[in-house]
Amino acid sequence: MPKVSNIAGRTVEMLGWKVLSDGRVIDPRGEIQDDLPDRVAFSNQAKHLADLNLITIQGYKVQQNSKPDVDKAVPVADKLPELPKQDDLTELANIGASRVRKLNDKKIFTFQQLVDLMSPAELGELLQIEQAVAASIIEEAASKLGEGSE
């Protein structure tokens, strides 16, 4: 196990383990240990703490230039895929946040998907409601689609 020293002057925690300011190591069960296991001492979190000069790890060379190269940085928005359109399904009668989550779990995010993918029986079973109520929800979603095309 590599020797880890705390130079922060305060308790440093990583992956449930604590390195106290006096150098003692406490495992996740609260027991004092001689040192951190390799999986903790060489974890990305421990290396980051070493780069911030909060701890030292025997055998780990601190990254001198830990600042990102802004000339090569790509804006996060350029990396993210475009999210599919979502309708506010809570606009429908009898649909609240918990029922929206159930629909979202079935990959239904829009009025169109609700109309195209759910029968009254399926919607009734999913939301645990009467089939007639489910049919009225689907009809209301279909009418909202008609409102959008006018």
Domain extent listing, the chain: 4-57, 89-145
Please state, for a pLDDT cut of 90, what percent of the chain lies above it: 35
Report the CATH number of the 89-145 domain. Answer: 1.10.150.20
The one-digit pLDDT tens for each residue of the chain (150 residues) are 667 777 777 788 888 888 887 778 888 888 888 778 888 887 888 788 777 777 777 777 666 555 545 455 555 555 555 656 789 999 999 999 999 999 989 989 899 999 999 999 999 999 999 999 999 999 999 999 887 554
d(CA 73, CA 82): 20
Helix, strand, or coil (residue 107): coil
User: How confident is the model over 36-63, as pLDDT tens digits?
Assistant: 888 888 788 878 877 777 777 777 766 6
DSSP H or E stretch at residue 5: strand 4-6
C-alpha distances (whole Å) from 144 to each of 20, 91, 104, 114 are 60, 9, 19, 11
Helix, strand, or coil (residue 17): strand
d(CA 120, CA 5): 64
The pTM assigned to this predicted structure is 0.46
